[in-house]
Amino acid sequence: MKYVPLLSIGVLCTLASRAQAPVPEAPEPPDPVEVISTDTAAGKDGGYSVSMGLSGGIKAEKANKKSRLSFTYLNMDFGVNFMHDKTDYGSAETIRFLNVPQEYRNESLFSLAQGKSWNFNLWPVKMHYKFGTSDNNYFSMSAALGLQVFNFKYTKPVHFENKTTPQVVLREDVTLTKNKLSVMYGSIPLMLHYTTKLSRNTALRFGFGMIGGMNISTWTKQKSNEINIPKNRDIMNLQRFQTSLVGEIGLPGYFTLFATYQLTDMYKYGLQQQPVSIGIRF
């Protein structure tokens, strides 16, 4: 019986120690895990980004697509000039305008030194807009603002006189070593292009359009070993505005050939001459 109290004390101590032991807390539920996956599917107007998660459900967003609008800078054209002459040299108007001997009243009066009559165009910024998403075959358009410079070097000593009635005469008082007429236009070209892929890195492009221009400067440059001849910057008989057809064909990144044909007569009256230029485009 003497062990009963001791046994009772031991049981009580054990129960007390268990009562003081901390009870482990139940673990907190983990934060919701959102699983997101993206994929891009080709669509009519571009790709779409698709995401799936526990909180947001399924979300489809427009993927970033390549802009159809682009720009190129410092575009240049170099070409040679020809003259389409439709003048009726027997008309009364032309006879009044050309104060030259009768044997010179024909289109050879304004014959050009080929290879020395050149055209230079500068387009500081050109805008391109692509239609559609295909990279193999597509249409595009381009527009720009720039300068066109036409130089016409004559083989004969034609000379423009500024009078009440402007006239063209043959300069016979001196021997000319250079006789050139230059015209500068501020121009806006608008073109439609078609590009077709030939291989992975090569494409063929065609283009056709119009150019509208305003005459902003005109001058003649005559040189003689005998006297100094000042430039004439006041030629009154040239048209203020011009409209031209323009076409091009080439391999983008390699070379492009261009041609322009001026629909507007270069002169207001007396002559029906329309410049033609053919060259290479950079």
CATH number for the domain spanning 182: value is: 2.40.128
pLDDT digits (tens, 9 = 90+) for 120-131: 999 999 999 999
* 7 domain-assigned: no
* 13 domain-assigned: no
* 186 domain-assigned: yes
* 9 domain-assigned: no
What integer pLDDT is reported at residue 59 of this predicted model?
42
Same domain, 114 and 226: yes
What integer pLDDT is reported at residue 4 of this predicted model?
47
Is residue 248 very low, low, confident or very high in pLDDT (cuts 50, 70, 90)?
A: very high
What integer pLDDT is reported at residue 222 of this predicted model?
93
pTM for the structure as a whole: 0.75
What rounded mean pLDDT belongs to the chain?
83
Is residue 81 very low, low, confident or very high in pLDDT (cuts 50, 70, 90)?
A: very high
Is residue 247 very low, low, confident or very high in pLDDT (cuts 50, 70, 90)?
A: very high
* 137 domain-assigned: yes
| Cβ atoms of residues 193 and 141 within 8 Å | yes
pLDDT digits (tens, 9 = 90+) for 40-52: 444 444 455 555 5
Q: Is the pLDDT of residue 250 over 60?
A: yes
Domain containing residue 31: 18-62
Same domain, 211 and 251: yes
Of the residues 7, 31, 62, the one at which a domain ends: 62
Nearest residue to 75 via CA among 14, 23, 147: 147
Position with higher pLDDT, 148 vs 66:
148
Of the residues 7, 34, 62, the one at which a domain ends: 62
Same domain, 161 and 251: yes
What integer pLDDT is reported at residue 167 of this predicted model?
87
pLDDT digits (tens, 9 = 90+) for 2-31: 444 444 455 444 545 554 545 556 556 555
pLDDT digits (tens, 9 = 90+) for 251-268: 998 999 999 999 999 999
Residue 135, Cβ density class (10 Å: 0-12 exposed, 13-18 middle, ≥19 buried):
exposed
Q: What is the mean pLDDT of residues 77-86?
A: 97
Nearest residue to 65 via CA among 132, 137, 139: 132
Same domain, 44 and 132: no
Is residue 202 very low, low, confident or very high in pLDDT (cuts 50, 70, 90)?
A: very high
Q: Which residues contact 117 (CB under 8 A, 6 or more apart)?
A: 80, 81, 82, 151, 152, 153
pLDDT digits (tens, 9 = 90+) for 83-117: 999 999 999 999 999 999 999 999 999 999 988 99
| Cβ atoms of residues 215 and 240 within 8 Å | yes
DSSP secondary structure letter of residue 8: H
